Structure 1
């Protein structure tokens, strides 16, 4: 990964009360490394209660081409992540997407 060709984008969302994730973090966060030339997600990390969950989510989004828009990625996440904080996960990804879109005119 070459940092001159990438940007780091984050997104956050509140998780449901009563979940383990809420008790530990209160929010779901996603950090993604996006290649500016290809618009592909090169790496991603999530605030999770287990390493397995972080690995699974990261593997799910890595390699996704953001030129396709965010909705196909969100549909994939909804299909493959049956977790209590699914809504927060989707919102955190959408928040990161919005931040990425807002940064485009500044580049």
Structure 2
């Protein structure tokens, strides 16, 4: 889909350092979270995370896609804590929070 042509969508990103001592840290140092959020419905319409393995990105993206951010992201964070059991879990949550905070900052301005 051509997200940029839909003016109600906004793209936000957040980043976090990966845990030192992990293989992933040696490869890329930080993880990024990119969210496309529908400003009208306050729903995440697409998501992507910077991972070497596609299945990891697909799994975590599917966990956030379609979720509402209208009342915060605590329910999404809880789901990640329960189902995404990998060493960089905290970094993923931090990157997600950073992207969400950027969305909130933009939302306050507009």
TM-score of the superposed pair, with normalisation by structure 1: 0.95
Q: Give runs of ≥4 in structure 1 deviating > 2 Å.
A: none
Specify every segment of 5 or more residues in structure 1 that has no aligned partner in the other structure, as ranges: none
CA-based RMSD: 1.0
Alignment map for 1:15-94 (pairs within 5 Å): 15-94=18-97
Displacement, 1:68?
2.6
Q: Is the 8 A contact 1:16 1:22 kept in 2?
A: yes
Q: Shift in Å at residue 100 of structure 1?
A: 0.8
Aligned residue for 1:42, secondary structure, equals strand
Count of equivalent residues: 107
> Contact 1:15–1:27 (CA<8 Å) still a contact in 2?
yes
Q: Is the 8 A contact 1:20 1:49 kept in 2?
A: no
Gaps of 5+ in 2: none
SS in 2 for 1:4: coil
What is the distance in 2 between the residues matched to 1:84 and 1:23? 13
- Structure 1 residue 49: Cα displacement: 2.0
SS in 2 for 1:56: helix
Which whole-Å deviations, capped at 9, do the CAs of 1:52-76 have from their partners, x for residues lacking one?
0000011010000001311111001
- Cα distance between partner residues in 2 of 1:41 and 1:8: 10
Give the alignment's TM-score, normalised by structure 2: 0.92
Q: Which residue of 2 aligns with 1:6?
A: 9
